[in-house]
Chains A and B, each alone.
Chain A
Amino acid sequence: GENVEQHPSTLSVQEGDSAVIKCTYSDSASNYFPWYKQELGKGPQLIIDIRSNVGEKKDQRIAVTLNKTAKHFSLHITETQPEDSAVYFCAASIRTGANNLFFGTGTRLTVIP
Protein backbone atom coordinates (compact mmCIF):
# COMPACT_ATOMS: atom_id res chain seq x y z
CA GLY A 1 0.00 0.00 0.00
CA GLU A 2 0.85 3.67 0.07
CA ASN A 3 3.49 4.96 2.53
CA VAL A 4 3.36 8.63 3.50
CA GLU A 5 6.23 10.24 5.40
CA GLN A 6 5.84 13.62 7.09
CA HIS A 7 8.43 16.07 8.45
CA PRO A 8 9.05 17.66 10.83
CA SER A 9 7.27 15.97 13.71
CA THR A 10 7.29 19.22 15.72
CA LEU A 11 7.61 22.80 14.56
CA SER A 12 7.67 26.03 16.56
CA VAL A 13 7.41 29.43 14.90
CA GLN A 14 6.99 32.99 16.05
CA GLU A 15 3.61 34.58 15.40
CA GLY A 16 3.63 36.20 11.98
CA ASP A 17 6.32 33.91 10.55
CA SER A 18 5.69 31.21 7.95
CA ALA A 19 5.48 27.47 8.58
CA VAL A 20 6.19 24.71 6.09
CA ILE A 21 5.38 21.02 6.52
CA LYS A 22 6.58 18.46 3.99
CA CYS A 23 5.32 15.03 2.97
CA THR A 24 6.52 12.36 0.58
CA TYR A 25 4.55 9.43 -0.78
CA SER A 26 5.55 6.15 -2.36
CA ASP A 27 2.78 5.15 -4.79
CA SER A 28 3.00 7.00 -8.09
CA ALA A 29 -0.70 6.19 -8.69
CA SER A 30 -1.77 8.45 -5.80
CA ASN A 31 -3.58 11.47 -7.16
CA TYR A 32 -5.29 13.17 -4.22
CA PHE A 33 -3.47 14.90 -1.35
CA PRO A 34 -5.48 16.43 1.51
CA TRP A 35 -4.29 18.16 4.66
CA TYR A 36 -6.12 17.83 7.97
CA LYS A 37 -5.82 19.98 11.10
CA GLN A 38 -6.43 18.45 14.51
CA GLU A 39 -7.02 20.79 17.42
CA LEU A 40 -6.68 19.61 21.00
CA GLY A 41 -9.48 17.26 21.99
CA LYS A 42 -11.06 17.21 18.55
CA GLY A 43 -11.08 15.06 15.45
CA PRO A 44 -9.08 16.03 12.35
CA GLN A 45 -10.68 18.55 10.01
CA LEU A 46 -9.99 18.96 6.30
CA ILE A 47 -8.37 22.34 5.63
CA ILE A 48 -7.13 22.10 2.04
CA ASP A 49 -6.53 19.50 -0.63
CA ILE A 50 -4.87 19.22 -4.02
CA ARG A 51 -5.37 16.88 -6.93
CA SER A 52 -2.65 15.66 -9.22
CA ASN A 53 -3.63 17.80 -12.17
CA VAL A 54 -2.49 21.02 -10.43
CA GLY A 55 0.81 22.04 -8.89
CA GLU A 56 -0.36 24.59 -6.34
CA LYS A 57 -3.52 25.67 -4.54
CA LYS A 58 -4.08 28.59 -2.18
CA ASP A 59 -6.78 29.46 0.31
CA GLN A 60 -6.09 32.72 2.13
CA ARG A 61 -3.02 32.09 4.35
CA ILE A 62 -2.74 28.42 3.46
CA ALA A 63 -1.19 26.96 0.33
CA VAL A 64 -0.30 23.47 -0.81
CA THR A 65 2.24 22.57 -3.49
CA LEU A 66 2.67 19.25 -5.27
CA ASN A 67 5.64 17.85 -7.15
CA LYS A 68 4.49 14.61 -8.79
CA THR A 69 7.87 13.84 -10.30
CA ALA A 70 9.56 13.91 -6.91
CA LYS A 71 6.47 12.50 -5.15
CA HIS A 72 6.31 15.16 -2.49
CA PHE A 73 3.85 17.81 -1.41
CA SER A 74 4.00 20.61 1.16
CA LEU A 75 1.72 22.76 3.30
CA HIS A 76 2.63 26.44 3.64
CA ILE A 77 1.04 28.66 6.29
CA THR A 78 1.89 32.35 6.08
CA GLU A 79 1.44 35.03 8.75
CA THR A 80 0.92 32.40 11.41
CA GLN A 81 -1.42 33.10 14.32
CA PRO A 82 -1.76 31.38 17.72
CA GLU A 83 -4.96 29.67 16.53
CA ASP A 84 -2.90 27.87 13.88
CA SER A 85 -1.34 25.83 16.72
CA ALA A 86 -2.49 22.24 16.17
CA VAL A 87 -1.39 18.88 14.79
CA TYR A 88 -1.39 18.75 10.99
CA PHE A 89 -1.69 15.53 8.99
CA CYS A 90 -1.00 15.04 5.32
CA ALA A 91 -2.55 12.15 3.42
CA ALA A 92 -2.49 10.52 0.00
CA SER A 93 -5.06 8.52 -1.90
CA ILE A 94 -5.87 6.90 -5.20
CA ARG A 95 -9.27 8.15 -6.29
CA THR A 96 -10.60 4.82 -7.43
CA GLY A 97 -11.69 1.65 -5.70
CA ALA A 98 -11.89 1.94 -1.94
CA ASN A 99 -10.67 5.55 -1.93
CA ASN A 100 -8.81 5.01 1.31
CA LEU A 101 -6.66 7.77 2.71
CA PHE A 102 -3.15 6.97 3.94
CA PHE A 103 -2.04 9.46 6.57
CA GLY A 104 1.36 10.79 7.55
CA THR A 105 2.50 10.69 11.17
CA GLY A 106 1.55 14.29 11.94
CA THR A 107 3.31 17.59 12.72
CA ARG A 108 2.66 19.44 15.96
CA LEU A 109 2.81 23.15 15.10
CA THR A 110 3.19 25.66 17.92
CA VAL A 111 2.85 29.36 17.16
CA ILE A 112 4.51 31.44 19.85
CA PRO A 113 2.79 34.79 20.50
Chain B
Amino acid sequence: EAQVTQNPRYLITVTGKKLTVTCSQNMNHEYMSWYRQDPGLGLRQIYYSMNVEVTDKGDVPEGYKVSRKEKRNFPLILESPSPNQTSLYFCASSFYRGPSNYGYTFGSGTRLTVV
Protein backbone atom coordinates (compact mmCIF):
# COMPACT_ATOMS: atom_id res chain seq x y z
CA GLU B 1 0.00 0.00 0.00
CA ALA B 2 1.29 3.45 -0.97
CA GLN B 3 1.72 5.45 2.20
CA VAL B 4 3.63 7.91 4.32
CA THR B 5 4.53 6.48 7.72
CA GLN B 6 5.28 8.68 10.70
CA ASN B 7 6.52 7.56 14.09
CA PRO B 8 5.67 7.94 16.83
CA ARG B 9 1.93 8.78 16.66
CA TYR B 10 1.99 10.30 20.15
CA LEU B 11 4.89 11.71 22.14
CA ILE B 12 5.13 13.51 25.46
CA THR B 13 8.54 14.91 26.28
CA VAL B 14 10.20 17.45 28.54
CA THR B 15 11.64 20.82 27.61
CA GLY B 16 15.15 20.57 26.19
CA LYS B 17 15.25 16.83 25.53
CA LYS B 18 16.22 16.23 21.92
CA LEU B 19 13.79 14.19 19.87
CA THR B 20 13.34 12.93 16.33
CA VAL B 21 10.09 12.23 14.50
CA THR B 22 10.64 9.83 11.64
CA CYS B 23 8.91 9.93 8.25
CA SER B 24 9.18 7.35 5.52
CA GLN B 25 7.39 7.01 2.17
CA ASN B 26 7.23 4.03 -0.19
CA MET B 27 6.10 5.82 -3.36
CA ASN B 28 9.53 6.89 -4.65
CA HIS B 29 8.54 10.53 -4.20
CA GLU B 30 11.22 13.17 -4.60
CA TYR B 31 9.37 15.94 -2.73
CA MET B 32 8.82 15.73 1.02
CA SER B 33 7.61 18.26 3.54
CA TRP B 34 6.82 18.78 7.22
CA TYR B 35 3.82 20.75 8.49
CA ARG B 36 2.53 21.63 11.91
CA GLN B 37 -1.18 22.02 12.56
CA ASP B 38 -2.42 24.31 15.33
CA PRO B 39 -6.01 25.33 16.14
CA GLY B 40 -7.02 28.45 14.24
CA LEU B 41 -3.76 28.50 12.28
CA GLY B 42 -4.24 25.64 9.86
CA LEU B 43 -1.27 23.86 8.34
CA ARG B 44 2.03 25.71 8.31
CA GLN B 45 5.09 24.41 6.51
CA ILE B 46 8.22 23.85 8.58
CA TYR B 47 10.73 22.48 6.06
CA TYR B 48 10.63 20.85 2.67
CA SER B 49 12.95 18.84 0.47
CA MET B 50 12.82 18.66 -3.32
CA ASN B 51 15.26 15.75 -3.47
CA VAL B 52 18.06 13.93 -1.64
CA GLU B 53 20.45 16.35 0.11
CA VAL B 54 18.25 19.32 -0.89
CA THR B 55 16.29 20.95 1.94
CA ASP B 56 14.84 24.41 2.47
CA LYS B 57 12.96 26.38 5.09
CA GLY B 58 9.22 26.78 5.06
CA ASP B 59 7.22 29.37 6.94
CA VAL B 60 8.01 28.31 10.53
CA PRO B 61 11.46 26.64 10.61
CA GLU B 62 12.74 28.05 13.93
CA GLY B 63 13.62 25.34 16.43
CA TYR B 64 13.55 22.51 13.89
CA LYS B 65 16.07 20.66 11.75
CA VAL B 66 15.66 18.13 8.96
CA SER B 67 17.85 15.88 6.88
CA ARG B 68 17.35 14.05 3.60
CA LYS B 69 20.08 11.46 3.23
CA GLU B 70 17.86 8.91 1.50
CA LYS B 71 14.96 9.44 -0.85
CA ARG B 72 12.41 7.63 1.30
CA ASN B 73 13.21 9.19 4.69
CA PHE B 74 12.79 12.73 5.96
CA PRO B 75 13.19 12.96 9.76
CA LEU B 76 12.21 16.04 11.76
CA ILE B 77 14.59 16.89 14.58
CA LEU B 78 13.86 19.08 17.59
CA GLU B 79 17.25 19.75 19.20
CA SER B 80 15.84 21.49 22.29
CA PRO B 81 12.04 21.26 22.34
CA SER B 82 10.03 24.00 24.02
CA PRO B 83 6.34 24.10 25.05
CA ASN B 84 5.46 26.29 22.04
CA GLN B 85 6.36 23.33 19.83
CA THR B 86 3.45 21.36 21.25
CA SER B 87 1.46 20.64 18.11
CA LEU B 88 0.19 18.07 15.63
CA TYR B 89 2.85 17.36 13.00
CA PHE B 90 2.33 15.98 9.52
CA CYS B 91 4.81 14.66 7.01
CA ALA B 92 3.79 14.75 3.34
CA SER B 93 5.27 13.66 0.05
CA SER B 94 4.75 14.25 -3.65
CA PHE B 95 6.39 13.59 -7.00
CA TYR B 96 9.30 15.77 -8.07
CA ARG B 97 7.26 18.56 -9.58
CA GLY B 98 5.65 19.11 -6.22
CA PRO B 99 2.22 19.17 -4.60
CA SER B 100 0.78 21.73 -7.00
CA ASN B 101 1.23 19.26 -9.84
CA TYR B 102 0.57 15.92 -8.19
CA GLY B 103 -0.99 16.64 -4.79
CA TYR B 104 0.32 15.57 -1.42
CA THR B 105 0.11 12.21 0.32
CA PHE B 106 0.05 12.92 4.05
CA GLY B 107 1.06 10.74 6.95
CA SER B 108 -1.34 10.11 9.86
CA GLY B 109 0.28 12.70 12.10
CA THR B 110 2.36 12.88 15.27
CA ARG B 111 0.86 14.58 18.30
CA LEU B 112 3.71 16.11 20.30
CA THR B 113 3.37 17.53 23.78
CA VAL B 114 6.32 19.34 25.37
CA VAL B 115 6.01 19.94 29.12
Contact = CB atoms under 8 A, between A and B. Distances in A.
Nearest to A49: B103
Interface of B: 4, 31, 33, 35, 40-45, 48, 50, 56, 58-59, 90, 92, 97-101, 103-104, 106-109
B100 A94 contact: yes
Interface residues of A, number: 25
A99 B97 CA distance: 7
A27 to B, nearest CB: 13
Contacts, number: 67
Contact of A98 (B41, B98, B107): B98
B106 A98 contact: no
Nearest to B38: A105
13 contacts: A34-B100, A42-B109, A43-B4, A93-B99, A94-B100, A95-B98, A95-B100, A98-B48, A99-B97, A100-B45, A100-B48, A103-B42, A103-B43
B101 A95 contact: yes
Contacts of B98: 95, 98-100
Contact of A43 (B48, B99, B106): B106
Nearest to A95: B100
Given A98-B48, A99-B31, A99-B100, A43 B41 contact: no
A9 B39 CA distance: 10
A43 B88 CA distance: 10
A1 B60 CA distance: 12
Nearest to B109: A43
Contacts of A6: 42
Contacts of B44: 103
Nearest to A96: B100
A20 interface: no
A44 B100 contact: no
